Structure 1
């Protein structure tokens, strides 16, 4: 195999691993806050506990991505921003708009719970999980990432972690923003938004439209497929409205809609067809926050999420709808916080291709939580029982404790259980088995963090064991399937996700250095094989500098080799990507940004036979009058 250049890049993380605790004491959780700095203690996080808590009181392993970081990302997808976050890897079948997966700590993409403004999005198709390709990056103000199981808070899906996306909340005077981006592959995007507040009413609106000619995502497939460039068209809109009824009561509504039409190359004959998939995403949310006494508060939230996909050639449609209602109660007693949650969720799935599927299911969850933070101690306890209409009751729990050894050093430990129910497609499609069981996980982790002045360092070691892992059987292994020729889904595997994540940051004068390193071993313990499309080592190293009115940044993304198949027979070589960014204020109202991705024009794949983007330059101009 002629992979020597890739092999040399693949071993770089080993050298980083050996020197990281010392040489990279100056680096940070990638993209946490402004692309590197760990969130400050006074900053609030919602996702870890579903309650607004100071980051310093959150025991979980978290990262916060702010709007400045998102703006500097260029014309990319949400997954590309997450790829720089510690513990996260992504896969994509080619360019933006195509099938995308996000893996936290080596877990499957379906093992990450995803919410937009509190609205759950998921898919009941194939292996499940959020439709990442349809989430519009331009509409996002903030992203919160929690690494580690949180089923005791969110129920099914949160086996490896949670990603929650927030759109902008209006405040202050009327503030319009117009942003234009143009770049490689004839990529262009126009974003228009406005936000503000009037008396007790606040508002935020945004629309976005873009397209790209793309590139040939399968240039080396035999037999040769459609050699055209595979581009995309995207349009989205969102609104977030709030009304402060009085000092103790607030009502808020939000809506987001997105449509992406992406070209791709597929294997069914004829191979020259222009295959295209239209992905639509819609989220609707309404919530009422009330503070009834100094100690007691509630939240009532109604939400509805729709994930719809349509194949343009054969007109087949798959659609998942999730409707839920949440009643959350919190009671404070001094430094103690008690919570009780009642949540009802209903999933509906429709598939028009033969054999047709039109099924639904529901879950009712009851959760209790306890949090205490005082002096050097922080405690977080949660327990939840979910009653699934298909699988009956399931109880999950978590316990976490952190102790500040000194004002700068903090140690933590946690344990938790999790689960994920099979999708309706996995049970009732032509590949389905109705008797599948839920996947079940058990996680333990320990952490050490240091923060003093501009110096930050963290290390987290974890082990997450899953039983009844769902896999797809084909060929000789499909002998026990209902239709062996089709193959089928089965609970045949056990998985173990274990690893260590290092993060660090330092500011040296005008320079801010940051980086992260993951050393992991995601494997199928039944077959004793490395899980497909996940590297044993991946890292990010970067630097930002303020110079003559410019904000300049550079980062390097490194990944060791991975296997494209569960049998570990096909190797995806390791790679290293070098990226640059620059931004400056042209005047008080105008801002210029530029992003150069994959400087060395590296050819690489995150999914077998699907090429990723080569060197690409994007420039942007933003008008935001003060």
Structure 2
């Protein structure tokens, strides 16, 4: 029986709320759940065949994935109660998180030592990064409300997703509509005068469904400056929706959308004496919009599936000082794409299943730099890029899984580029072992801001930049013990980056430049999951990472050592839950932008963040919850010169209505 086929309805059932990317990618090559379960070690711990939607152009059962991937479920998000996705990502092997001070401050996520704009972020199949900044995604805007699952795919994935995926992919799926009507409303408050209100509404019918989620977050914050006395305010409103219409069997139309509107106070920076943040009467207004519409047609019983889709992304940023607009930017992206998947089974030839995918897209980007006081710095550019992808997947004997991808990008501003990727997974269910490996190449085009950007007194672009290129590989083993109650994974990775874009600080201005030579990254990622008894789950991870520039200096803000531990206890027939999280971030280096000193680098001390969370459901449809963040009141910095929040306490309640529960 094919491991590469999951019918659309069965897939939606398997993921409960469904997976937008799973539907988006048209899985003619995903596995039937009954066959996938045969390859899992059975025991007293229930084993649910996990579908991974980001590791291929089609969804795959986890046993068939050769790349290193971590999946965080919506239930885990509820148990940990983190309100920002970035805080959950701290637990993922190979991932580094840096937030510029407080809530709402620029939050960057790096995978395996790559840069923040090397991480592609997808939400329900939509690319949500800021096109003006090379599609880099600011994780400070991403709240956890209404998220069903998060996948973190590590390693170069440009052969699947293009320029932005040179370091990895983070794919987020929001909850889909369930049958019937339902609604949920939650409110919480706590330290720093923080208020959070979130809700969801659901309507599901046989041929049509719709789900809408909305969240409002506001905090008085704290002072980002080490020497100031002014709290920095932040607020955000985000909304998302998913809808689907099925006029006839084998035909479905889908529309997804996301809107975020934010405002946050910012501090200036002393570029002369200390390099630290200083109080200032400045704030930013940011608006992000993402939309996607597509239609899927299944033919020959699902053996041939096709999708035609279009997407639009826009990000607007306005900076103010004393109430006056000082600078801004606009970035937008329009995309049209088509994908075709074909599955062929040859049971008499090594029990093989073959999957073929062809994908093509045309993408138009628009960039605008706004400088009211320096009209000569105002600039508007448009580019159009084309890409075509081919992917082949092979399954043999229901235990060997291979894949290969090839992509050609035709850039308007740069030379054309071809990237490729191969993966392999070999499952040995008799011993609970699985070997996995991947190799891939990547390319990252310079951002518009890096090429032509201008910020008076701080930044000047460089139109002579060349694209960054990389190649890397990883190999690992996953091992289960005690009938699946213990699962361990160890992965070694290595990647080489060429023409790395770095910052040159001279004369009070920062200018991007290409570094000559080879930037090396290598390390080991480990993870462990233990279920000593039903209801208690212990997880841990440790990463050793060595990320260096061509001159052998460490890359900034990448710790060599990082680790996490989480204990989750569900009891009273799952009506109560307690969660303990511990995240360790080792020493790292950062840049000091101060002309008065001769040093260019400083050390960021290591730190440990401890969180405690609990929730209790006294009656059906009602839940009370609370959490403590930074319980040890650690004093630390993730970015040099910017303070971080101390111990904080939050409490709240949730009310759910309708048959679906909508937790």
TM-score by length of 2: 0.83
SS in 1 for 2:651: strand
Cα 1:571/1:271, change in 2 over 3 Å: closer
Equivalent residues in 2 for 1:59-70 (5 A)? 59-70=66-77
Q: State yes or no: 1:362 paired with 2:384.
A: yes
Matching residue of 1:71:
78
- Any conservation in 1 of the 2:65–2:423 contact (CA below 8 Å)? no
Taking the aligned partners of 1:536 and 1:112, their CA distance within structure 2 comes to: 19
Q: What is the aligned residue count?
A: 575
**Hey, what's the Cα distance between the residues in 1 that align with 2:463 and 2:63?**
45
- Is 1:459 the counterpart of 2:461? The answer is no
1:545: which partner in 2?
569
* Partner Cα separation in structure 1 for residue 491 and residue 539 of structure 2: 17
Displacement after TM superposition at 1:271 (Å): 5.6
Q: Is 239-248 or 69-78 further displaced after alignment?
A: 69-78
User: What is the SS of the residue equivalent to 1:426?
Assistant: helix
Supply the distance in 1 between the matched residues of 2:140 and 2:163 (Cα, whole angstroms). 22
Report the Cα distance in structure 2 between the residues aligned to 1:59 and 1:244, rounded to whole angstroms.
34
Offset of 1:247 from its aligned partner? 2.3
Deviations along 1:408-428, one digit per CA (max 9) or x if unpaired, are 111122211001000111111
Query: Residue 473 of structure 1 corresponds to which residue in structure 2?
Result: 504
Give the CA RMSD over aligned residues: 2.0
The CA distance in 1 between the partners of 2:200 and 2:50, in whole Å, is 25
* In structure 2, distance between residues paired with 1:252 and 1:594: 36
On the 8 A contact 2:83/2:143 being kept in 1, the answer is no
Aligned to 1:252: 254
CA contact (8 A) 1:74 1:619 kept: no
The counterpart of 1:91, out of the listed 98, 116, 126, is: 98
Deviation at 1:511, TM superposition (A): 2.3
Contact preservation (8 Å) 1:232, 1:261: yes
**Aligned equivalents of 2:618, 2:264: Cα separation in 1:** 35
User: Residues 131 and 331 of structure 2 are in contact (CA less than 8 Å); yes or no, is this contact kept in structure 1?
Assistant: yes
Greater displacement, 126-135 / 106-115: 126-135
**For the residues of structure 1 that align with 2:193 and 2:453, how far apart are their CA atoms?**
39
Q: Which stretch shows the higher mean deviation, 130-139 or 194-203?
A: 130-139
1:402 maps to 425
Matches within 5 A, 1:313-462: 313=321, 314-315=324-325, 316-334=327-345, 335-353=353-371, 354=374, 355-374=377-396, 375-407=398-430, 408-430=432-454, 431-451=460-480, 452-462=483-493
Q: Residues 94 and 545 of structure 2 are in contact (CA less than 8 Å); yes or no, is this contact kept in structure 1?
A: no
Contact 1:75 1:181 (C-alpha < 8 Å) held by counterparts: no
Distance in 1 between residues matched to 2:148 and 2:618, nearest whole Å: 23
Query: Structure 2 CA distance, aligned partners of 1:41 and 1:272?
Result: 52
Give the Cα–Cα distance (whole angstroms) in 1 for the partners of residues 502 and 182 of structure 2: 50
SS of the residue corresponding to residue 521 of structure 1 reads strand
1:193 Cα shift? 1.1
Is the 1:204–1:241 Cα contact (8 Å) retained in structure 2?
A: yes
- Unaligned 5+ segments in structure 1 are 1-37, 476-483
Q: What is residue 199 of structure 1 aligned with on the other side?
A: 206
Which runs of 5 or more structure 2 residues have no equivalent in the other structure?
1-44, 272-276, 346-352, 455-459, 593-598
Residue from 563, 569, 584 that aligns with 2:601: 569
Shift of residue 547 of structure 1? 3.4
Is this contact kept in 2: 1:326–1:344, CA < 8 A? yes
Residue 284 of structure 2 aligns to a residue whose secondary structure is strand
Cα distance per residue 1:566-616 (max 9 Å; x no partner): 987300000111111111112101012211111110011110011121111
Q: Compared with structure 1, are the counterparts of its residues 455 and 164 closer, same or farther at alpha carbon in structure 2 (3 Å cutoff)?
A: same
Pick from 269, 272, 288: which aligns with 1:267? 269
Aligned residue for 1:474, secondary structure, equals: strand
Which residue of 2 is the match for residue 612 of structure 1? 644
Partner of 1:55: 62
Aligned with residue 601 of structure 1, among 614, 621, 633: 633
